[in-house]
Structure 1
Amino acid sequence: MTTQLQPAVAVTPPLPTRRNAELLLLVFAGGITVAALLIVEANRERGLHWELTSQGLAFLTLFGFAHLAIRRFAPYTDPLLLPVVALLNGLGLVMIHRLDLVDNEIGRHTHPSANQQMLWTLVAVASFALVVTFLRDHRQLARYGYTCGLVGLVVLAIPALLPASLSEQNGAKIWIRLPGFSIQPAEFSKILLLIFFSAVLVAKRSLFTSVGKHLMGMTLPRPRDLAPLLLAWVASVGVMVFEKDLGTSLLLYASFLVVVYLATQRFSWVIIGLILFALGSVAAYFMFDHVRVRVQTWLHPFADPDGAGYQIVQSLFSFATGGIFGTGLGNGQPDTVPEASTDFIIAAFGEELGLVGLSSILMLYTIVIVRGLRTAIATRDSFGKLLAAGLASTLALQLFIVVGGVTRLIPLTGLTTPWMSYGGSSLLANYMLLAILARISHSARRPLRTRPRDKSPIAAAGTEVIERV
């Protein structure tokens, strides 16, 4: 009698990729965008145009290609990241289009065109798909950490070396102007420098955590280990001094402190970093006029409401006019705020959507940030943890700096709102940031590969013996 004994095999069902949920959410985001466009047209033009439908279809088709890239090359990516960003981008396009209508009514062209922003959206989403497609493993970035750091610093310093005619706008030297084209290199530098910080801190974590002197309950690092912090301090203060850009300086340095704290779990690094930045800020206040003007405008905006304080005063009036529920899309006067489509787009939404609508927009950003932090927790490698946490923290810090500036919580900085404000450099850089975060999310949520069954000759012989019993 032959008895066959089959070993018990545990069959694990495949984890759902949630791509269908992502597709449905993208359709929902496109529907909200089209509805917002219809409301704006109805309130401003007192009628509807069929071309709005084609714009909505173009929006859905564009993000449909991004969805296909994720479905094919990163199927385990968090299904909330792309739809939430698509909704933020769509609302930004709606507000820029709304400002275009005001320009057409009064015969001026002081705001950028929504068609240009749509073109930049096409380029940015295409870049997102390319990064997701060709960056097969985020750990490849760690190999080029020092290269990214060098390129990031060089690119960041280029505007300071160019003449004012090629780099300066509104008092800040943050642009590289070429014939028919201009970019803001700081938007890309923040990503490159975060890759550099994460790679260096992972490679030298033991030096940051195991050595140092103890003083007043804190573990102080050795001077040679303090060199990266001092380099970041010099770079950030240098940006503030030579490029007159408070926002980029604050964002770079705060992002670096967050990554250092996450890597070392030592609060002493944060204290030292804050002390260094405070000393540099105080020195810059007394040494440079543009820093002093920004701070004085923040403290006393109504002292010169028609001059230096005009922007922030108009922004505060917009929030006051919006109240709880807002004036409605197309019914406000956001065009009275200078740079409403770039630096002050949050004020425009605050007027027409009110506190409720603005809180909803901030909640969308919170979803992206929280999902990025969850990705950092779930990622299995140290470099991915630091990079994902750094990217998510950078988004949180940039949002805080922007909203704090337009609401007069902190001095005005001039940073743009991610994915909503007009600007090709900002849109392109933030979509590349999202692509890296999506790639890390895919790696974190992807199921571990189980070891295949042993099919060696010895195992086969053992199975044959069992079958003959």
Structure 2
Amino acid sequence: MAEMLATPVPMPAKRRVAQLVLLALAVLVIMGAYANVGLAVDGKVPAGMLAYGLGLGGLMLAAYLVLAKFAPWADPLILPLVTLINGLGLVMIYRLEAAKMDLASTNNQIMWTAVGVVMFTITLIVLRDHRMLQRLTYTAGAVGLVLLALPAVLPGSISEVQGAKIWIRFGSFASIQPGEFAKLALVVFFAGYLVAKRDVLALAGRRLFFIDLPRARDLGPVLVTWGLSLLVLVFEKDLGTSLLLFGTFIAMLYVATQRTSWVLIGILLFVGGAFLAGQVFDHVGARFDAWLDPSNPVYYGTAPVCLEDPPGDPMCSKSYQIMQGLFGFGAGGILGTGLGQGHPDLIPLSFSDFIFAATGEELGLTGLMALLMLYALLVERGLRTSLVARDPFSKLLAGGLSFILAWQVFIIVGGVTNLIPLTGLVTPFMSQGGSALLANWILIALLVRMSDAARRPPPQAIQNEGLTQVFQR
């Protein structure tokens, strides 16, 4: 009887079956899109479609089995949603590479997807209790800062790509972007720090109009984070990561303290920092100029910035890729040209920064709205986990991870649609690149672990369930 009382209640069978059905449906949708590209480009189903489908299905089935064993009470929608988004990214990269008759990038992305799923399962198996991360608050902060600063102190020959020092290249065969992993470590640090200091940070100082301002002595964390984001912008020329980290900290600070004044202070600091950076640094000013009028050439000093070949085109400017992306959106219209029937390969960086624009050309506004709905559902499940979490650290960590995912999607989608200045971030789970894919799969594993802890019945409920089963027998 004691052994029976210690046995946890398994997840309801209906929920587990529903999760498996949704996962299978996601794989089927991906395979249908894959076949559609092959039929449109070559007039036949791709030769490796069966092997690809079985491989992807087997990989996700393995992830499902690990999740069912080590996180049985986790939200059943998270894994199918991520599978579908990741799979659509693979299809778009395959479509772009098929136009060039070179599938090397597709094979690499499939490999990185497999490694990402492996990291997802390892995280679930090793991290049985996410609350242990709270004990590593300052360690995570130190690791995050080191990873963030490492490319800046390395020679440009191994860390600089297109002006941004965000990479570490190992010869000509491999590279890593440590900032993608730094954001996870820093979110853990933010959550642990804000849990410890939230009572102090929530204290009100003077009242200005209808807002209670914080005390001047408590502005230190915001100013330090603001300064850190500016340092990233100055030394690494990475506007995207700078905006991502500062925005995430302000959002988590608001969740921890419920003080609107922190949001207003954060907005003022961001606007001031952006204006200052635009006046002082040419690369930031060029992005603002391209945003304000993408049809005009943008200059660094006296030389136009040319990203296309040859560089004599009238559109020779930093805004060339923005204009090509906007033309792609226009060509797609409401319903799109159809998978494999457009010209998304004409968009610069269509496999990474502008994969959202490439998708918009072939799937149209309807397809993009469906894709954004998938992201919205994924973020909603993460925020729901934050709401039902039982301890403050879990609430802040789940909320921070969900926000950083939503914030990243907003920044890149806003950039390619010219809603905001282009920053150079990638679309989560879709853009080509191993570092971002691995980091985002680890992020999903953390959300799944916290979802399982939040949804798992409390020990008293488990004991009552066990007693009911004993008496029924």
Equivalent residue number for residue 286 of structure 1: 279
2:399 is the alignment partner of 1:406? no
1:49-70 superposed Cα distances (whole Å, 9 cap, x missing partner): 4421110110011111111110
Aligned in 2, Cα 1:423/1:398: closer, same or farther, shift over 3 Å? same
1:231 correspondence with 2:227 = no
Shift of 1:214: 3.2
Query: Counterpart in 2 of 1:23?
Result: 20
| 3-state SS, counterpart of residue 340 of structure 1 | coil
**Contact conserved, 1:112 with 1:341, CA < 8 A, in 2?**
no
- How far apart are residue 229 of structure 1 and its match? 1.0
CA distance in structure 2 between the aligned counterparts of 1:44 and 1:210, rounded to whole angstroms: 62
Q: 2:421 aligns to what SS in structure 1?
A: coil
Deviation readout 1:173-228 (Å, 9 max, x if unpaired): 11111132211111111111111111011111111113533344433333442211
Q: Does 1:194 align with 2:187?
A: yes
Q: What amino acid does structure 2 have at the position aligned with 1:420?
A: M
CA contact (8 A) 2:90 2:106 kept: yes
Q: 2:151 aligns with which of 159, 163, 167?
A: 159
Report the counterpart of residue 241 of structure 2 in structure 1. Answer: 248
TM-score, normalized by length of structure 1?
0.90
AA partner of residue 295 (structure 1): F
Displacement over 4 Å in runs of 4+: 12-15
Report the residue type matching 2:447 in the other structure: L
What's 1:298 paired with?
Answer: 291
Equivalent of 1:362 in 358, 368, 372: 372
SS across alignment from 2:429: coil
What is the one-letter code of the residue matched to 1:167?
S
Alpha-carbon displacement from aligned partner over 1:288-309 (angstroms, at most 9, x marks no partner): 1101111101111111223222
Picking from 118, 128, 146, the partner of 2:120 is 128
Aligned to 2:138: 146
1:15 positional shift: 5.7
Aligned partner of 1:456 in structure 2 is none
Displacement of 1:413: 0.7
Which residue of structure 2 aligns with residue 137 of structure 1?
A: 129
For 1:423, give the aligned amino acid: G
Alignment of 1:200-219 (within 5 A): 200-219=193-212
Cα distance in 2 for partners of 1:55, 1:419 equals 18
1:220-263 alpha-carbon deviations (Å, 9 max, x no partner): 33344221111110111111111111111111111111000000
Q: Are residues 1:275 and 2:268 paired?
A: yes
Q: 1:49 to 1:216 in 2, by over 3 A?
A: closer
- Following superposition, the deviation at residue 14 of structure 1 comes to 6.7
Q: CA deviation at 1:13?
A: 8.7
> Do the aligned partners of residues 436 and 395 (structure 1) sit closer, same or farther apart at CA in structure 2, a change above 3 Å counting?
same
Q: Partners in 1 of 2:451 and 2:432 — Cα distance?
A: 27
What is the DSSP-based 3-state SS (H/G/I as helix, E as strand, rest coil) of the residue aligned with 1:303? coil
Partner Cα separation in structure 2 for residue 260 and residue 392 of structure 1: 14
Q: Residue type matched to 2:327 in 1? A: F
2:327 pairs with 317, 320, 333, which one? 317
Q: Deviations over 1:390-415 (max 9, x none)?
A: 11111111110010000000011110
Letter in 1 for 2:359: F
Structure 2 CA distance for aligned equivalents of residues 340 and 373 of structure 1: 31
> SS of the counterpart of 1:212?
strand
Match of 1:71 in 2: 68
Which segments of 5 or more consecutive residues in structure 1 lack a partner in the other structure? 1-11, 454-469
Task: Tell me the SS of whatever aligns to 1:225.
Answer: helix
Give aligned-pair identity as a percent: 51
What letter is aligned with 2:244? L
Aligned-partner residue type, residue 366 of structure 2: V
Deviates more, 1:65-74 or 1:46-55: 46-55
Q: How does 1:76-91 map to 2 (within 5 A)?
A: 76-91=73-88
State the match for 2:470 in structure 1.
Answer: none
CA contact (8 A) 1:112 1:422 kept: no
- Between the two proteins, the alignment pairs up a number of residues equal to 437
Decide whether the 8 Å contact of 1:15 with 1:447 is kept in 2.
Answer: no
**Residue 426 (structure 2) aligned to one of 387, 391, 416:** 416
1:341 match: secondary structure: coil
2:86 counterpart of 1:94: no
CA distance in 1 between partners of 2:251 and 2:99 (Å): 42
C-alpha separation between the residues in 1 aligned to 2:88 and 2:217?
Answer: 48
Normalising by structure 2, report the TM-score.
0.90
- Aligned 8 A contact 1:127 1:432 in 2: yes
Per-residue deviation, 1:112: 6.0
